[in-house]
Amino acid sequence: MAKREQVVEEVVEETVRSITQAQADYEQLMDEIRGSWQRARDLREKAAELELSGRTDAQVGAEIRQLLDQAKRFELLGDQKDRHEKQEAIRYIEDLQREASALRGTVQHNQSVLARQRKVLEEAKEEAVAMVQRAEKRVQETERLLAYEMAKLAELEG
Protein backbone atom coordinates (compact mmCIF):
# COMPACT_ATOMS: atom_id res chain seq x y z
CA MET A 1 0.00 0.00 0.00
CA ALA A 2 2.88 2.35 0.81
CA LYS A 3 4.27 1.95 -2.71
CA ARG A 4 0.85 2.74 -4.19
CA GLU A 5 0.58 5.83 -1.98
CA GLN A 6 4.03 6.93 -3.10
CA VAL A 7 3.06 6.49 -6.76
CA VAL A 8 -0.16 8.47 -6.24
CA GLU A 9 1.76 11.18 -4.38
CA GLU A 10 4.29 11.42 -7.23
CA VAL A 11 1.46 11.69 -9.77
CA VAL A 12 -0.18 14.43 -7.69
CA GLU A 13 3.12 16.34 -7.50
CA GLU A 14 3.64 15.98 -11.26
CA THR A 15 0.09 17.19 -11.90
CA VAL A 16 0.64 20.21 -9.65
CA ARG A 17 3.86 20.99 -11.52
CA SER A 18 1.99 20.62 -14.83
CA ILE A 19 -0.74 22.99 -13.66
CA THR A 20 1.86 25.52 -12.53
CA GLN A 21 3.67 25.27 -15.87
CA ALA A 22 0.39 25.49 -17.82
CA GLN A 23 -0.59 28.60 -15.89
CA ALA A 24 2.82 30.15 -16.57
CA ASP A 25 2.44 29.27 -20.27
CA TYR A 26 -1.04 30.83 -20.22
CA GLU A 27 0.32 34.04 -18.69
CA GLN A 28 3.07 34.14 -21.31
CA LEU A 29 0.46 33.65 -24.05
CA MET A 30 -1.65 36.47 -22.59
CA ASP A 31 1.45 38.69 -22.58
CA GLU A 32 2.00 37.81 -26.25
CA ILE A 33 -1.64 38.61 -27.07
CA ARG A 34 -1.50 41.92 -25.21
CA GLY A 35 1.83 42.63 -26.90
CA SER A 36 0.35 42.02 -30.36
CA TRP A 37 -2.59 44.29 -29.64
CA GLN A 38 -0.30 46.94 -28.16
CA ARG A 39 1.98 46.75 -31.20
CA ALA A 40 -1.11 47.21 -33.44
CA ARG A 41 -2.17 50.28 -31.41
CA ASP A 42 1.35 51.72 -31.58
CA LEU A 43 1.47 51.25 -35.37
CA ARG A 44 -1.95 52.89 -35.78
CA GLU A 45 -0.84 55.81 -33.62
CA LYS A 46 2.29 56.17 -35.72
CA ALA A 47 0.15 56.12 -38.90
CA ALA A 48 -2.17 58.75 -37.38
CA GLU A 49 0.81 60.94 -36.49
CA LEU A 50 2.05 60.69 -40.07
CA GLU A 51 -1.41 61.66 -41.37
CA LEU A 52 -1.52 64.62 -39.02
CA SER A 53 1.99 65.69 -39.99
CA GLY A 54 0.58 67.42 -43.05
CA ARG A 55 2.99 65.75 -45.44
CA THR A 56 1.22 64.66 -48.61
CA ASP A 57 3.90 63.01 -50.69
CA ALA A 58 3.43 59.46 -52.04
CA GLN A 59 6.06 58.03 -49.72
CA VAL A 60 4.06 59.12 -46.66
CA GLY A 61 0.89 57.56 -48.07
CA ALA A 62 2.74 54.30 -48.74
CA GLU A 63 4.27 54.39 -45.27
CA ILE A 64 0.84 54.99 -43.69
CA ARG A 65 -0.65 52.05 -45.63
CA GLN A 66 2.30 49.87 -44.63
CA LEU A 67 1.89 50.83 -40.95
CA LEU A 68 -1.86 50.15 -41.07
CA ASP A 69 -1.27 46.79 -42.79
CA GLN A 70 1.26 45.83 -40.12
CA ALA A 71 -1.17 46.98 -37.43
CA LYS A 72 -3.90 44.82 -38.96
CA ARG A 73 -1.56 41.78 -39.04
CA PHE A 74 -0.63 42.26 -35.37
CA GLU A 75 -4.27 42.71 -34.42
CA LEU A 76 -5.27 39.57 -36.35
CA LEU A 77 -2.41 37.66 -34.74
CA GLY A 78 -3.54 38.79 -31.28
CA ASP A 79 -7.17 37.93 -32.09
CA GLN A 80 -6.20 34.52 -33.44
CA LYS A 81 -4.14 33.70 -30.36
CA ASP A 82 -6.93 35.04 -28.16
CA ARG A 83 -9.51 32.80 -29.83
CA HIS A 84 -7.60 29.59 -30.43
CA GLU A 85 -4.44 29.28 -28.38
CA LYS A 86 -5.99 30.91 -25.33
CA GLN A 87 -8.97 28.54 -25.43
CA GLU A 88 -6.65 25.54 -25.83
CA ALA A 89 -4.56 26.72 -22.88
CA ILE A 90 -7.68 27.22 -20.75
CA ARG A 91 -8.99 23.75 -21.68
CA TYR A 92 -5.61 22.22 -20.84
CA ILE A 93 -5.52 23.93 -17.44
CA GLU A 94 -9.10 22.83 -16.73
CA ASP A 95 -8.22 19.24 -17.72
CA LEU A 96 -5.25 19.30 -15.37
CA GLN A 97 -7.38 20.74 -12.58
CA ARG A 98 -9.96 17.97 -13.08
CA GLU A 99 -7.16 15.41 -12.99
CA ALA A 100 -5.81 16.94 -9.78
CA SER A 101 -9.28 16.88 -8.26
CA ALA A 102 -9.68 13.20 -9.16
CA LEU A 103 -6.27 12.47 -7.68
CA ARG A 104 -7.22 14.30 -4.47
CA GLY A 105 -10.27 12.03 -4.30
CA THR A 106 -8.05 8.99 -4.83
CA VAL A 107 -5.66 10.16 -2.13
CA GLN A 108 -8.52 10.73 0.32
CA HIS A 109 -9.95 7.29 -0.48
CA ASN A 110 -6.54 5.66 -0.05
CA GLN A 111 -6.00 7.46 3.25
CA SER A 112 -9.38 6.23 4.45
CA VAL A 113 -8.59 2.66 3.35
CA LEU A 114 -5.20 2.86 5.04
CA ALA A 115 -6.75 4.09 8.29
CA ARG A 116 -9.25 1.19 8.23
CA GLN A 117 -6.48 -1.30 7.47
CA ARG A 118 -4.37 0.04 10.34
CA LYS A 119 -7.35 -0.30 12.69
CA VAL A 120 -7.96 -3.88 11.52
CA LEU A 121 -4.24 -4.62 11.98
CA GLU A 122 -4.26 -3.25 15.54
CA GLU A 123 -7.38 -5.25 16.37
CA ALA A 124 -5.77 -8.38 14.89
CA LYS A 125 -2.62 -7.77 16.96
CA GLU A 126 -4.71 -7.38 20.11
CA GLU A 127 -6.65 -10.56 19.31
CA ALA A 128 -3.38 -12.41 18.60
CA VAL A 129 -1.97 -11.32 21.98
CA ALA A 130 -5.17 -12.48 23.68
CA MET A 131 -5.01 -15.84 21.84
CA VAL A 132 -1.38 -16.34 22.90
CA GLN A 133 -2.26 -15.49 26.50
CA ARG A 134 -5.16 -17.98 26.47
CA ALA A 135 -2.92 -20.66 24.94
CA GLU A 136 -0.19 -20.02 27.54
CA LYS A 137 -2.79 -20.28 30.31
CA ARG A 138 -4.04 -23.61 28.91
CA VAL A 139 -0.45 -24.88 28.70
CA GLN A 140 0.16 -23.85 32.33
CA GLU A 141 -3.06 -25.55 33.44
CA THR A 142 -2.09 -28.68 31.51
CA GLU A 143 1.41 -28.61 33.06
CA ARG A 144 -0.10 -28.27 36.57
CA LEU A 145 -2.55 -31.09 35.90
CA LEU A 146 0.24 -33.26 34.50
CA ALA A 147 2.46 -32.49 37.50
CA TYR A 148 -0.41 -33.32 39.87
CA GLU A 149 -1.15 -36.58 38.06
CA MET A 150 2.55 -37.54 37.98
CA ALA A 151 2.81 -36.85 41.70
CA LYS A 152 -0.29 -38.94 42.36
CA LEU A 153 1.08 -41.74 40.16
CA ALA A 154 4.37 -41.62 42.01
CA GLU A 155 2.48 -41.81 45.30
CA LEU A 156 0.50 -44.81 44.12
CA GLU A 157 3.54 -46.61 42.75
CA GLY A 158 5.68 -45.78 45.58
CB atoms within 10 A of CB 40: 21
138 lies in some domain? no
81 lies in some domain? yes
Angle, to 10 degrees, between the axis of helix 2-52 and the axis of helix 58-80? 160
Name the pTM for this structure: 0.60
CA of 88: how far to CAs of 10, 82, 93, in Å? 26, 10, 9
Q: What is the count of structural domains for the chain? A: 1
Residue 69 has pLDDT above 90, yes or no: yes
Are the CB atoms for 68 and 37 separated by under 8 Å?
no
46 lies in some domain? yes
65 lies in some domain? yes
38 lies in some domain? yes
Give the mean pLDDT of the chain: 91
Domain that holds residue 56: 2-119
pLDDT 10s digits, 100-155: 899 889 888 988 998 999 999 999 999 999 999 999 999 999 999 999 999 999 99
